[in-house]
Structure 1
Amino acid sequence: MGAMIAIDATLGILVAIGFCISKWRKSRPKRYTTLGGAGDGADEMELLHSSGKKGHVPQLSDSSRRNTSPSPSSMARPATSYCRRASGRVDNMDGFVDDDESMSLYDDDSRLEEDFHTNPDFQRFMRSMSRTIETNSIGLSFDFEGLGFHARKGKAILKEITGTMPRGSCWGVMGGSGAGKSTFVNVLMGKMTTTSGSIKINGWTKDMSKYKKLVGYVPQDDIVFPELTHSRVGDAAHPIISGGQRKRVNIGTELAAAPMAIFLDEPTSGLDATSAATIMRLLKAVSLLGVTTIAIIHQPREQIFYGFDHLLLLAQGRSVYSGPTDNVMNYFEGLGFAFPQRANPADTLIDIITGDGAQYTVGASKWETGVSHLVDEWRKQGQYSTRDLPPTFGGPIVNRDRRRSNQSQNSTAEQEESLKRTMRKRGATWPAQVYYCFKRAMTQQVRNATSFFFEIGVGGLAGVVIGLSAFASNGHLFQGIYHPPFTLLSSAVDYASTPQIGLLGAMAIGLAASAPGFWIFGEEKLMYYRETASGHSRSAYYVGKLLSTLLRIGLSSLHFTVFFGILATPLISFPKMYAANMMYFWCIYGLASVVSMVVKREDGPLIAVLASLIIGVLGGVAPPLSKVKTWHMEWFWRSSPGVWFAEAYFTENLMPLGYLYQLELASDSVGYTLGRFGLDIWVLFLIGVVYRIIAYFGLIMIHRDKQR
C-alpha cells in the first residue's frame, strides 16, 4: 500500500511539474533569431523567383550534379509524423499572415515577397524548405496518357485522360460531383492502380507507390492528433484552434516532411476568404521552390481560382481542359461560351463542364454545350498541342505526332540515382521510429491525464469491488479434507471459493481494461492510414504503441492488486498475485486490440467488453474444468486466458495449505493442475503475445487500399 501511494504521489508531482512548464512556455513571448542580413533575404527571394520556371529542369554540370544529393542530416525524414507531427508547432504554420489581413485579387507575387521580408515565421519556413527539399536538379514531374480507371463493378470512373504536370507547377483539379477528381489524384499518387493508360515520373514509366517518401498528401478532413503540438489542436468536441489554423497544421505536417510533390484534397473548403488566401499563398510559395503542387478544388473563390498556375478540368471522368489558368477563359470563349463580367469565372466553368453551359451561349444547340462535345473539342484542339498556346484556340489542329513535345524532360540516369539515394536517406531507422511512436503515445497520455488517471482509478475500483465480495471470509477461501489420521475430523468441503475469486477477478479486470485497450488503436485509424500511405513503418508504429501501454497496464494492475489484496486477504503472496493480475490485464489489452481491428469505433468498446466476459467465463469454474475434460474439450478452454488465470490463483491459495489438506482430491474435483504457477504466468504472457500478433496482421491486412 505504501509503495502504491509513493508511486501515485510521484506521478502527481510529475504531472504538476509538466503542467507548470507548459504554462511557463506558453506565457513566454515569442523570440525570433536573426536570419541574416538583407543580402540573405534577397538571395532567398532570388531563389524563389528563379525556381519558378515552370516545367524547366536545369541541366547541371558534372561537378554540381555530384552535390545535388542532400546530406543525410538535411534530407532525413525523421519519421515525419512520428517526430515532426508529434512535436510540430501550430504557430509555425499559423504565423504566415495575420487573420485581419486581406488579399488583393492578382498580386500573389508581391504578397509573397512582402510576407518573406516582414514575417519571421515565413522567413524561417522558406529557408528550411529551400534547404531541405533540394528540388533544383530533380523534383517530380508527371506525364499521363490515356489514363483510365474502372471500378470493380465495371463502371468507368476515368477515361483517356492525357496531360503533363511539370516540376514546380501549381495545379488545381476542378469538376462537378462525380467527375473523378479524387480518383484521378489517387491514381496519380499510386493509391489506386490504373486500369488503362500510362503514368510517367520524370519522363520514365515507374511505380508511383515507390515514391511515397517524396510525396505528401493532405486529405480533406483535418486528420491531426488533438493532444499534440506545442499549442494543442483539440478535436471536434473540444476545439482549441480555428478551422483555418487547423487546416494549416494539417498542411504543415506534410510540409515538415519536405515533399517534392504534394497533393491536397480541397484545402480551402469551409474556410473564410482570409484563411483560404493564406493557404493559397503558402502553396504558391512551395511550388516556387520546385514542389509540384496538385490540389482538388471545389467551386473556389475568384482569388483562389487565379492562385493556381494551371487547371485540369474533368467532366464525367474525361478531361475537357488542361493548361494555364490564364488561357482557360480564352479557350472556352473560342468554343462559343461567354463569361459574365461580374461573375466568378470558376462558377461559370463548373456550369459549363457539368453540361449546364447553354445559358452562356447564344443560339447554341444542346449538343454543342454538352459534355461529350467539350471532350471531343479538347481532344481535337488542345489535348496534344504544345503548352505555349495562343490567346485563343481557333487555329488548326496540331498533329498528334507532336504529343512528345508536350511531355516532361526525361531525367538523366545520374539524377535518378541521386533521387534513389535521397529516398534511401529519408526516414528514420526502425528503432528511431519505434522511439518516436512511443514518445508520441506517452505525450498523448500525459496530455490526456484525466483519462489516464480515470483508467487507473477504475482498476483500483474493480479491486475494491472484488475484494469486498470476499471480505467476509477473512481469507478462508478453501476448506479441504485433512490428511490421515485426521480425515474423519474434516467438516464441510469448500473447493469452489478460490476458483470463483479467480473468475470474478478475471471478469472485473475485463470490464476495467477492455474499453481502454480498444481505444489504443481504435481512435487513430485515420492517422495510421495517412502515415502508412506516406511510407512509414507499420510495425514500428505498432510496437511503439504497444510499449506505451505497459505503464498503464502496470499501474492499473497495481491498484487492482493492492485493494483486492487488502480486502480479500488471499493466501497468495503479493508479488505472485500482482504478476497474475498484470498478465491478465496484458491479455485483455491484447484482446481489445484484436477487436479494434475488425469492428467500427462506435461498436468497439461494447464488443471488447463482451469478448472479455466470454474468455472470463471460459475459466473452468462453471462448468468446472473437470467436467469439460469428460467432453474432451479441455483444449478449447485452455485457449482462454481465464483458465490459466484461475489456475494460478487456485495453485497459490492452496499450496500453503498442503501440510494440512489432501490437495490432490481438490485438484481432481475441480480439474486444475497444481504446482505450476510459473507455467500459468508464461502461458498468459504468450496468449497476450498471440493476441497482439493477430491484431498486427489485422492492422496491416484490413483496409489495405487505405494504406497505399
Structure 2
Amino acid sequence: MMPPGEQEASIAMKTGPVNAVLANRSETMPVHADRSSSPSHVIPCPDEENPSPHQDHQLRKSSVLRRSLRPVILKFEDLTYSINLRTGKGSFWFGSHEPKSTRLILNGVTGIVKPGELLAMLGPSGSGKTTLLTALAGRLNGKLSGSVTYNGQPFSSSVKRKIGFVTQDDVLYPHLTVTETLTFTAMLRLPKELTRLEKIEQVESVISDLGLNRCSNSVIGGGLIRGISGGERKRVSIGQEMLVNPSLLLLDEPTSGLDSTAAARVIATARGLARGGRTVVTTIHQPSSRLYKMFDKVLILSEGSPIYSGESGRVMEYFGSIGFQPGSSFVNPADFVLDLANGITPDTKQYDQVEVHGRLERHEEQNSVKQMLIHSYRKSLYPLLKDEISRTSLPQDQTFSGSKTKSSTRTKDTQWPTSWWVQFYVLLKRGLKERRHESFSGLRIFQVMSVSILSGLLWWHSRVSHLQDQVGLLFFFSIFWGFFPLFNAIFTFPQERPMLVKERSSGMYRLSSYYIARTVGDLPMELILPTIFVTISYWMGGLKPSPTTFLLTLLIVLYNVLVAQAVGLAMGAILMDVKQATTLSSVTMLVFLLAGGYYIQHIPGFIAWLKYISFSHYCYKLLVGVQYTGNEVYECGLGLRCRVMDYEGIRNLMIGNNNMMWDVLALGIMLVGYRVLAYLALRNL
C-alpha cells in the first residue's frame, strides 16, 4: 500500500486528460502562492501545421473539457436556516394545540473557499455540517437566509452543472461493475460534443487517477452481494463526479465507515483534486491528525454557529490566544477543537472523569464555553472574513453564463448534456443490465414455475362438463397475474428513490427519458414469465385446444400484467413507502378479488360499482369471452346438454355488456391513467 503522502503526489501527478487543461495556468485562476502546486501532465505540443489524427483528437477533447472547468470562488455569507419541529401532541383529527417550535440549524455561517483549497467542516453530530454542505450545493429545501455565490453569481442551472456533490451514503447499483458504473455516468453527463470513444477514454483516465484499476471489473456489491471495499466504493462515487470535471467538488463525510488507511487515501484524493485547480469542500466528523494536516482551511461549527473559520495551521494559535490551551503538547488539533465545540475544555474534561453529581452545573458551564467561543469568533474572525470576501475579486471571463448574445433556443438545447434519445438508450441499457439479476432470479423463476405446474396438475385435463372448474382456472389466471406484478412493481420507485434523487439533482437526465426507459425495459422482463406460466397451465388444464384461443388468452393475461404493474407503480410513486404501499395494495387486491365476478354473482346495487374499477373483473370477463362461444354447449346433467352462456356464473358476468371491446378499452384507460399518475407523482418527488 502506497503511503498517503506519496499517494497524494501520485494522484496529483496523474491528472490525465481531466486536468491536462490546467497545464496552461494563464487560462485558469492561479493557485495561491502559499500552496504547493503539483506538476500537471502536459499534452505534447502538436505540429500546428500538420497535426496527427491522435493529436487532433486530444486537442478537441481538451478543448471541450477546458470549457467545463472554470475555477470557482465560493462565498457564503451569514447563512441562517431553521426548521419547524412537531410537538407530537394532539389528536389526529384536531391536530396539536401547542404552537410549533423551531430549531436553528445554521446561525450566521460565513466563509470563502478559493480554487486549489481544501476546506474541511468540522463539528459534533447535529452541528449542521451536512445542512451547510447541502446549502452550498443548492439542494437545501426550505427558506435559507444569507447568500451563496459562485464567482459572484447565485445558484443556477449552469452553476449546477459545474458542481460535483458526493453524498455520505454511496448510492450505486450493486450489480454493475466499477467500469460499467462510470461508463454509464459518462454517457449521461459528459457533453454531446465528445464521442463515445472519448467518453470511454475519460472513464479510463478517472479510474487510473483514483487508483481503481485493480477493481475496475469487480461488481459494486451491497447488501448480500459481495463487491468492492468501502474505500473503493467511496472513490467510485467521487469518480462519478470527477467525470464531468467539476469546478466545485462537495464531499459529505467521505471517510465515514472507513479504516484509517482508506480514509487517508480518500482525503489524499480530494487534496490532489484541489491541487488540480478545483475548489473542494468536505464535511468530516473526527479526522486523525494525519488527515487534519491535509486540510488547507477548516470551519468549525457548534450547534450551527461557527467558532472558527480560517487556515487549519492557525487553529491552535487562535484558541490559545483566547485562553484555551491543550492539556499536553501532543494533541490532535481535530480532537481539541471538537471538544471545544462541545463546550469541553481540558480542565472540565479532566474534572468530568471524577465528577458524578452536578450534571446540570456541567451542562451550564459547557453552554457558557460555547457562547464565549461564538462571541470571540464574531469579534475577532468574522470581520476578517468579511474583509477577505470583499477584497477577493474575480478574474475576467470566469463566469458561467457565457455569452449573453445566445438565443433562447440555444440555451434550451444546452440545458441537458445529451439528447433525449441518448438518455433513453443509456438508461434502458443500464436498467436491463442491472435488473436482469432480479427479474430472472432463481427464486422468482421457481415461484412461477412451481405455481404453473401445480395449477396444471390441479386442473389436469378438465372438461367442458366441469364448467365451474374451467371458469375457476380462468379466474385464477386473472387474480394471480394481478397480484404478482402489482406487488413486484410496488418496490420499484421506493427502492430507486435515492438514485433518482441523486441523479436528477445533478441534472443527468430528463424524468421523461428515465420513466419511458424504465417502462420499456420492464416489458421483456415482466412478460416472459407469464408467457411461460400460461403456456404450461393452459394446455395442462384442458382448456379449449385452439391455437387462436390460446393466443388470445395469452394476450389478455399479458395485458392484465401491464395494467397491474401500472397500478403498483402508481401506488409506489405516490406513497414512496414500501410498507404503506404494500398495505394499501393488499386491501385493493382483496376488493378486486371479491368484486371480480367469480365469488359473488349477485352484488347489491349500491356497491356494484366496485367491479367497474377492478381490472381483475375485466380480465376475467375477457378470458371467459374468448374461451366460450355463444352456441357452445356442455353436459349439465345425465343426458342433458345446456348452453355455456346459460351457466349462471357466466350469464351474470356477461349481462348488460357482451361487447368485449369495451372491456379492452377500460383496461387501456387504466393502463394509461395509472402510468401517467405515477409519472406525475415522480415529478413532485
* Contact 2:68 2:246 (8 Å CA) reproduced: no
Distance in 2 between the 1:560 and 1:570 partners?
Answer: 14
The letter for the 1-side match of 2:151 is: N
Corresponding position: 1:618 with 2:595? yes
Distance in 1 between the 2:73 and 2:632 partners?
Answer: 79
Counterpart of 1:341 (choices 329, 333, 336) is: 329
| Offset, 1:468 | 3.4
Counterpart of 1:697 (choices 672, 680, 685) is: 680
| Offset, 1:331 | 1.8
User: Structure 1 residues 236-245 or 41-50, which shifts more?
Assistant: 41-50
Distance in 2 between the 1:167 and 1:526 partners?
Answer: 30
In structure 2, relative to structure 1, the CA distance for the partners of 1:226 and 1:186 (3 Å cut) is same
Q: Which residue of 2 aligns with 1:502?
A: 474
Distance in 1 between the 2:27 and 2:256 partners?
Answer: 31
Corresponding position: 1:541 with 2:531? no
* Contact 2:21 2:66 (8 Å CA) reproduced: no
Counterpart of 1:202 (choices 134, 151, 155) is: 151
Q: Which residue of 2 aligns with 1:440?
A: 430
SS at match of 2:401: helix
Q: Which residue of 1 aligns with 2:78?
A: 146
Distance in 1 between the 2:610 and 2:581 partners?
Answer: 25
SS at match of 1:134: helix
The letter for the 1-side match of 2:379 is: K
Alignment of 1:95-494 (within 5 A): 133-134=65-66, 138-153=70-85, 154-192=102-140, 193-204=142-153, 206-208=154-156, 211-229=159-177, 230-339=217-326, 340-359=328-347, 370-385=369-384, 402=387, 405-409=390-394, 416-417=401-402, 424=414, 426-448=416-438, 451=441, 454-471=443-460, 473-476=462-465, 478=467
In structure 2, relative to structure 1, the CA distance for the partners of 1:274 and 1:46 (3 Å cut) is farther
Distance in 2 between the 1:210 and 1:335 partners?
Answer: 43
Counterpart of 1:631 (choices 605, 627, 630) is: 605
Distance in 1 between the 2:474 and 2:670 partners?
Answer: 17
Q: Which residue of 1 aligns with 2:558?
A: 582
* Contact 1:509 1:585 (8 Å CA) reproduced: yes
Q: Number of matched residues?
A: 571
| Offset, 1:469 | 3.6
Distance in 1 between the 2:560 and 2:608 partners?
Answer: 20
Distance in 2 between the 1:39 and 1:698 partners?
Answer: 43
* Contact 1:179 1:317 (8 Å CA) reproduced: yes
Alignment of 1:64-83 (within 5 A): none
Q: Which residue of 1 aligns with 2:645?
A: 663
The Cα offsets for residues 14-65 of structure 1, whole Å up to 9 and x where unpaired, read as xxxxxxxxxxxxxxxxxxxxxx999999978855899684479xxxxxxxxx
The letter for the 2-side match of 1:441 is: G
Counterpart of 2:616 (choices 639, 642, 654) is: 642
| Offset, 1:281 | 2.1
SS at match of 1:473: coil
Please, what TM-score do these two structures have when normalized by structure 1?
A: 0.71
In structure 2, relative to structure 1, the CA distance for the partners of 1:418 and 1:369 (3 Å cut) is farther
Corresponding position: 1:552 with 2:525? yes
Q: Which residue of 1 aligns with 2:98?
A: none
Distance in 1 between the 2:19 and 2:170 partners?
Answer: 35
In structure 2, relative to structure 1, the CA distance for the partners of 1:411 and 1:570 (3 Å cut) is farther
* Structure 2 spans left out of the alignment, 5+ residues: 1-12, 44-57, 86-101, 178-216, 351-363, 634-641
Distance in 2 between the 1:543 and 1:220 partners?
Answer: 29
* Structure 1 spans left out of the alignment, 5+ residues: 1-35, 57-105, 118-125, 387-399, 479-495
| Offset, 1:157 | 1.1
Please, what TM-score do these two structures have when normalized by structure 2?
A: 0.74
Q: Which residue of 1 aligns with 2:355?
A: none
In structure 2, relative to structure 1, the CA distance for the partners of 1:408 and 1:672 (3 Å cut) is farther
SS at match of 1:644: helix
The letter for the 2-side match of 1:201 is: Y
SS at match of 1:200: strand
SS at match of 2:628: helix
* Contact 1:461 1:560 (8 Å CA) reproduced: no
Distance in 2 between the 1:187 and 1:241 partners?
Answer: 31
Distance in 1 between the 2:110 and 2:369 partners?
Answer: 20
Distance in 1 between the 2:393 and 2:143 partners?
Answer: 20
In structure 2, relative to structure 1, the CA distance for the partners of 1:505 and 1:615 (3 Å cut) is same
The Cα offsets for residues 400-442 of structure 1, whole Å up to 9 and x where unpaired, read as 7x46534553865975325998992652222221221111111
In structure 2, relative to structure 1, the CA distance for the partners of 1:156 and 1:330 (3 Å cut) is same
Distance in 2 between the 1:584 and 1:633 partners?
Answer: 23
Distance in 2 between the 1:39 and 1:461 partners?
Answer: 55
SS at match of 2:629: helix
The Cα offsets for residues 650-687 of structure 1, whole Å up to 9 and x where unpaired, read as 21122163588373786653345565334433432432
Distance in 2 between the 1:522 and 1:649 partners?
Answer: 33
The Cα offsets for residues 491-527 of structure 1, whole Å up to 9 and x where unpaired, read as xxxxx55553332222222343334323433432211
Q: Which residue of 1 aligns with 2:97?
A: none
Alignment of 1:673-688 (within 5 A): 675-688=658-671
Distance in 1 between the 2:424 and 2:15 partners?
Answer: 42
The Cα offsets for residues 274-307 of structure 1, whole Å up to 9 and x where unpaired, read as 2222212211222223322111111101121121
SS at match of 1:140: coil
The Cα offsets for residues 112-139 of structure 1, whole Å up to 9 and x where unpaired, read as 669999xxxxxxxx99997665379733
* Contact 1:565 1:574 (8 Å CA) reproduced: yes
In structure 2, relative to structure 1, the CA distance for the partners of 1:50 and 1:377 (3 Å cut) is farther
SS at match of 2:84: coil
